Structure 1
Amino acid sequence: MSKTVVFIQGSPRENGNTRALAALVMETLAQSGVASAEIDATRLQCSHPGCIACGRCQEGPEFRCHVDDGLARAVATLPDYDAVVLSTPVFWLGPTAQAKMCVDRMASLVKCSDAGALATPLRGKILGLFATGATERDENLDILERQYRVMAEYLGMPFVSALFPFCGVPAGQAAADPEFATVARDFGVRLAGMLGGRKCCDP
């Protein structure tokens, strides 16, 4: 069965650089026999933004947010994929608010027992971070990467990332830059390798 990767698209610009570079990753994955899907976090219907800390997701055996809206339904599908990639530009040292709403609702996919044992259907799946920033890496992207690396370790998910500093070129044009394109395609190759996909040059 083909491996599948879902990209949580957090950029509010449909023609932005983050989405354009992510498209190169999806092309590379396809060449390796890995299928891709997208969740457009900017278009999800939500009755409450993010998590409201009601705690109801911890009460029963199912891993699902009890706020019945489009955001909850999208997050509930994440365990169906072999890898989850957060694809976002950096807004004020973090992911966009739209992407962060998805991340916050992912709390519904984690249960902690009174003894501290953690259970999640995401364990063993890959968590990826694909992030663009307009300034130098140390000011924002490294902070973001450290945060999501810790999350991956907590959930028992192998982690992979691609960071694009100084990506403040006009919207959508980053994919035409050879250096940016190489980083994007390399991310796709690494992700496919972690999923056991065939090499891009294989028949």
Structure 2
Amino acid sequence: MGERPGAPAASPPALVTDTESPLTGPTRAHLDDPPSAPRGHRPARAAAAPRPGRPGAAVARPGRPGRLPDAVAPPSSPRQEEPSAMNAVSQVFAVVAAAIHLIVWPLESFLYGHPRVRRLLTGSTADAPEVRLWRVNVGFYNLFLALGLVTGLVLLHTGHTGAGRAMVLYVAAFMVAGGTTLFASEPKLWRGALGQAVPAAIILLAEAF
């Protein structure tokens, strides 16, 4: 048939391409591609991953959330170590020296009137009543030296190592000096000088070596 004069020409039918179907919509190629975001839409920003061991907000210290870290304390100065304890030899002879002086104390202060006591201490049975005050004083001097050694040993075994060691060494040096002076002033009293000085000298030597 002929076309009417003046009628617009009919447009050719649209062709279905491989990427679009009028019945099923997008083909497999469209389904595989990610959908495009609408115009003007901004993708959400991914949240920052929390640090290991610190979930959520920053935590100052474990178990105390929301608190700022405490001020760092300055390093403490190194603790001074106390001197080491005395060896067994020193302690044994400290006990021996203390025992000798404790025994001599009543002999000189209270029992000097007995002839046997005078012979033991001086080598003679002769008495000298005018020196009674001197004898009592010397007897208590021996008592105080013995108590000094006992105090030092107690300090050693109660956690006060430095003080106890210093006490024992000082009293031992005092005894050595006293025994040396006694022998130098009256050599015939050598037995008393040895009893006073020898145990104390062993204490000092044992600590020195």
Q: TM-score, normalized by length of structure 2?
A: 0.24
Q: Larger Rg: 1 or 2?
A: 2
